[in-house]
Amino acid sequence: MKIAIIPGDGIGKEIIEQAKKVLKAASVKYKFDFEYEEVLLGGAAVDATGVPLPDKTVEVCKKSDAVLLGAVGGPKWDSLPSKLRPEAGLLGIRKALGVFANLRPAILFPELISASNLKPEVLGGGLDIMIVRELIGGAYFGEKNRIDIEGGKKAWDTISYTSFEIDRITRKAFEIARKRNNKLTLVDKANVLESSKLWREVVGNIAKEYEDVEINYMYVDNASMQLIRDPKQFDVILTENMFGDILSDEASMLTGSLGMLPSASVRGDSFGLYEPVHGSAPDIAGQNKANPIGTIMSVAMMLKYSFNMEQAYVDIKNAISKVLEEGYRTGDIALEGSKLVGTEEMGDLIVNNL
């Protein structure tokens, strides 16, 4: 296995170190060989090369079987023009690799029910929602500009989708729903947006090929409310890029902490880009405080989706459960009486259990 590793900025380095430990432990346990190359992205790349996405990074990622990414961004680069910001590097690598389907599972480990802001009754003993977010279209990549007008300025971003872009991710979402509980909810704003109307049309047509899957349609404002009111009604949520960005952060809070959530960005073959949903958390960078679980779960997703190692996924997830069960917590998920540990110890505990 050839893996490109991108630590990125902020807590990126620390959490990626833990992920590497888990990867090494898994390679021993499941007897596979892997080699990796570390490449630059985001602020680290700006500092070293002047651009957030160096050509070499794209090249190395394209030659790899999978990419593991920490996080990018930080106040140091916030005042740069949009094209030079770390975020532009992240969007650029997603686009360059063509990973259009971003899978963001919001899984609540039963041990963390008390870390969630919701009442235990609402969570009903656990939670497992899969958000399928379109990743390389919509407002993020549509036509945008800023011009001077008389007495002021004008800026715009465009949400545009082709039926092909909607088609390919919809099929992916239906396939995922089939492997889960056969329930799919399309989240859009079809009462206002033309692009959302096209989503409904395309999804409605494809739904006829998947009659075993129950399809629901929900406006995004309602969906954001329903996620808090009754999250258990959802299984797979399919949505466009920006709605998916927002709803996945919201869903993460149901699980106790943004630090817990992994993601996989895939395109249809076995290749994938794996990254935690959280950002680079510059305020705690370099302090051994960050929660590495989202990144370690991203490794688990990589083994499952890119290398077909379902058992490794299950075992890593169980190793995490075990550590939580034993009461160990990083600061973000700690409660009174928990055994507070740092990033590194959390990594070691998970490796030991694996």
Positions annotated as catalytic residues are 140, 189, 221, 245, 249
Residue 17's CB is within 10 A of a number of other CB atoms, namely: 16
Closest approach, Cβ 275 to ligand IPM, in A, equals 7
Closest approach, Cβ 245 to Mg ion, in A, equals 4
Closest approach, Cβ 149 to ligand IPM, in A, equals 28
Does 80 belong to an annotated binding site? yes
- Residue 19: which residues within 8 A CB-CB, separation 6 or more? 68, 292, 295, 296, 298, 299, 347
Residue 251's CB is within 10 A of a number of other CB atoms, namely: 28
Closest approach, Cβ 282 to ligand IPM, in A, equals 13
* DSSP percent split of the chain into helix, strand, coil, nearest 5: 50, 20, 30
Burial of 98 (0-12, 13-18, 19+ CB in 10 A): middle
With beta carbons less than 8 A apart as the criterion, state whether 61 and 4 touch.
Answer: yes
* Tokens linked to 321: 């459960």
Closest approach, Cβ 266 to ligand IPM, in A, equals 15
According to the binding rule CB under 6 A, does residue 261 interact with ligand IPM?
A: no
Q: Please give the residue whose beta carbon sits closest to ligand IPM in the complex.
A: 87
Nearer to ligand IPM, 46 or 90 (CB): 90
Binder to ligand IPM among 69, 90, 258, 320 (CB under 6 A)? 90
The rounded distance, in Å, linking the Cα atoms of 205 and 174 is 12
Per-residue contact track with ligand IPM, 30 to 69, x per CB under 6 A?
----------------------------------------
Binder to ligand IPM among 14, 111, 240, 245 (CB under 6 A)? 245
Q: Which residue from 16, 9, 2 is spatially nearest to 298, judged by alpha carbons? A: 16
- Choose the one of Mg ion, ligand IPM, none that binds residue 188, judging by a C-beta under 5 to 8 angstroms depending on kind: none
Q: Which residue from 135, 351, 343 is spatially nearest to 259, judged by alpha carbons? A: 343
Q: Which residue from 317, 322, 311, 313 is spatially nearest to 349, judged by alpha carbons? A: 322
Binder to ligand IPM among 38, 87, 167, 344 (CB under 6 A)? 87
According to the binding rule CB under 5 A, does residue 245 interact with Mg ion?
A: yes
According to the binding rule CB under 6 A, does residue 188 interact with ligand IPM?
A: no
Number of residues that bind ligand IPM (CB under 6 A): 5
Measured CA distances, 262 to 24, 149, 190, 246, 278 (Å): 19, 43, 29, 15, 8
Question: Applying CB under 5 A, which residues contact Mg ion?
Answer: 245
**What residues form the annotated binding site for NAD(+)?**
74-87, 279-291
Question: Applying CB under 6 A, which residues contact ligand IPM?
Answer: 73, 87, 90, 245, 279
